[in-house]
Chains A and B, each alone.
Chain A
Amino acid sequence: EAQVTQNPRYLITVTGKKLTVTCSQNMNHEYMSWYRQDPGLGLRQIYYSMNVEVTDKGDVPEGYKVSRKEKRNFPLILESPSPNQTSLYFCASSLRGRASREQYFGPGTRLTVT
């Protein structure tokens, strides 16, 4: 089944404790992206990647890192999480970014930073 998977689905952590949220897709997509979703703000793009070793900032990259060492994986790293990073996070992929009609979204990761 074609899908985007994220782990963990739920995470509660404390300020300053480094964490990684994994994202994997099995569709051989070139483009992958991370979003956060907050009440009243819709989804905001954090980072995106056009292909392996090619990443770029979205609208809200501060406090986040990403890497794209393999085509299928695009982990989101919070080196020193803060309470304002409490949010619902979505990973997405598409064949070739805007040239592709559809982005496929993962199920979401609920992160709480205390």
Chain B
Amino acid sequence: GESVGLHLPTLSVQEGDNSIINCAYSNSASDYFIWYKQESGKGPQFIIDIRSNMDKRQGQRVTVLLNKTVKHLSLQIAATQPGDSAVYFCAEYGGYNKLIFGAGTRLAVHP
């Protein structure tokens, strides 16, 4: 499969701990944000999204927080599992249908 050898910031966590992945976005006019997960050799996969009229949204084991004042997003993963090991990207819609990705954070889960 395909993967990209990225020199990314890495978050290392123990299995079962909670993970928090942070992202700063660039466009104060962006009103829709998405978190993606990219496993080695695969394309990005949608995790959760949030619109700018919300501060928090919860999914299954994941929570996204949005702080528009400081243009900051975070993804919280509860009870992190080995299968959560991947690269995580935040993305914002800058312009009507142009999706802008952040550089990504690698999550490494250790048993």
Contacts and interface: CB of A to CB of B under 8 A. Distances in A.
Nearest to B45: A105
Given A42-B102, A43-B89, A108-B43, A98 B6 contact: no
B97 A50 contact: yes
Contacts, number: 73
B98 A48 contact: yes
Nearest to A109: B2
Interface residues of A, number: 34
Interface string B1-16: 1101111100000000
Interface string B84-96: 0000010101001
Interface in A73-107: 88, 90, 92, 97-98, 101-107
B4 A38 contact: yes
Given A90-B44, A98-B32, A101-B49, A40 B97 contact: no
Contact of B7 (A31, A39, A97, A103): A39
- Interface magnitude class on chain B: 20 to 34
Interface in B77-111: 89, 91, 93, 96-104
A107 B42 contact: yes
A37 B103 CA distance: 10
B101 A42 contact: yes
Contacts of A45: 98-100
Contacts of A56: 97
Contacts of B102: 42
Contact of A98 (B45, B46, B96): B96
A33 to B, nearest CB: 7
Interface string A28-41: 00010101011111
Interface of B: 1-2, 4-8, 32, 34, 41-46, 49, 89, 91, 93, 96-104
10 contacts: A4-B43, A38-B4, A40-B6, A40-B7, A48-B98, A88-B2, A102-B46, A105-B43, A107-B43, A108-B42
Closest 9 pairs between A and B when the two form their complex, measured CB to CB: A105-B43, A42-B101, A108-B2, A102-B46, A43-B101, A97-B97, A42-B103, A39-B6, A98-B93
